[in-house]
Structure 1
């Protein structure tokens, strides 16, 4: 299988796109706070999805485009969501098939908010290590927008993640407006330990075996 690789840089968009021949879908992945599109978890996800015929774009959020290091600013999170929307507009026309967006931790949270706010053309969400609340602060749950997410969502959670327990995620899944699958990874923390936990293959299998079929089964008027 040949793979076309390209880098796309426009206003608010910095992406590495890899497209297999006859790609069956496109996944756009954003990085966690303090990281960038070269993060090990994003590269791992890209490799395993590509092997299954799924095109993947790893993107730098606008705050990371502005500076090479440091965390995002809460006051500028809306601009990071604008960056995800810009990536959707730039990349979705390049690959036929369903569009899935998401990412790791902060990147996934912003992608989920983009969906909740009503972006057209997104068919599914892939959230790895969603930061359900800050470590040690379960009272600050980041769940207000979850009922507005109507599209199929795959959540990948390490059982040792300090940003949310398995029980808390089980409860949070019930808040979503659309179908959700929670994939839990044994012996994995917030990083998901992609070098030894098997999270890559487990996630790619869930995308192909559950997320894409669930998207295909949804009536067109149930996507956002």
Structure 2
């Protein structure tokens, strides 16, 4: 499987993060690029990659839907296999990418050597349910986690807001931190007095605490 990647290495890195994009925007999107820069500034090396359907979208200039979960998992595991790092390794994903990362960490089919590599999972805007369908919960990846996980969620995320998440039974391996007035991209409204950049920087600080480096 040919996977397009962007490697962003820093000297004296504290950890290496494999960063998966969401359903609608690729590895080079504004969000992915800016968040990677902030992670680099915090002394984390980052590998970004595209899932196969996204490369096909770009090549054919058509909006194909995301691949099914087995194919997404195969792609993520291949990137993990190719990652030759002695650093602590974390899986991180934006929206759908976070769901795939969480699923991979609890997948009974994953190579045990690969599972040993993974120190934790970070989800940026976890898609707890489709927009407008809170009854269709996507809790299985969280409920089957084998590694500790950090979910960084906007307070008013339409795929899982603070009020709705308060009703859920979140497993002990998973910590949820809310970003002030954030939407699914962690972006607050102007009237909140917060900025998107402030929320992104707070998210990176939470990651630093989670990793503990």
Report if TM-score (shorter chain) is over 0.5.
Answer: yes
Picking from 130, 139, 147, the partner of 2:126 is 130
Q: Secondary structure at the match of 2:4?
A: strand
* Alignment coverage as a number of residue pairs: 198
What is the RMSD computed on CA atoms of the aligned residues? Answer: 2.1
> What is the aligned partner in structure 2 of residue 100 from structure 1?
90
Equivalent position SS for 1:113:
helix
Question: For residues 161 and 196 of structure 1, what CA distance do their matches in structure 2 show?
Answer: 16
Alignment correspondent of 2:56: 66
Matched, 1:45 2:44: no
Secondary structure of 1:123 counterpart: strand
Q: CA deviation at 1:72?
A: 2.9
TM-score, normalized by length of structure 2?
0.85
Shift of 1:48: 1.1
Q: Say if 1:23 and 1:189 are closer, same or farther in 2 by CA, change over 3 A.
A: same
Q: Does 1:89 align with 2:81?
A: yes
Q: Which residue of 1 is the match for residue 3 of structure 2?
A: 13
Q: Deviations over 1:24-76 (max 9, x none)?
A: 111111111121001222112211111111101111112112222525345x3
Note the C-alpha offset of 1:101.
Answer: 0.7
Q: Distance in 1 between matches of 2:2 and 2:71?
A: 9
1:175 Cα offset (Å): 3.5
Shift of 1:171: 4.3
- In structure 1, the gaps of 5 or more residues are 1-10, 217-224
TM-score (norm 1): 0.81
In structure 2, relative to structure 1, the CA distance for the partners of 1:54 and 1:35 (3 Å cut) is same
Relative to structure 1, is the Cα distance of residues 175 and 193 closer, same or farther in structure 2, using a 3 angstrom cutoff? closer
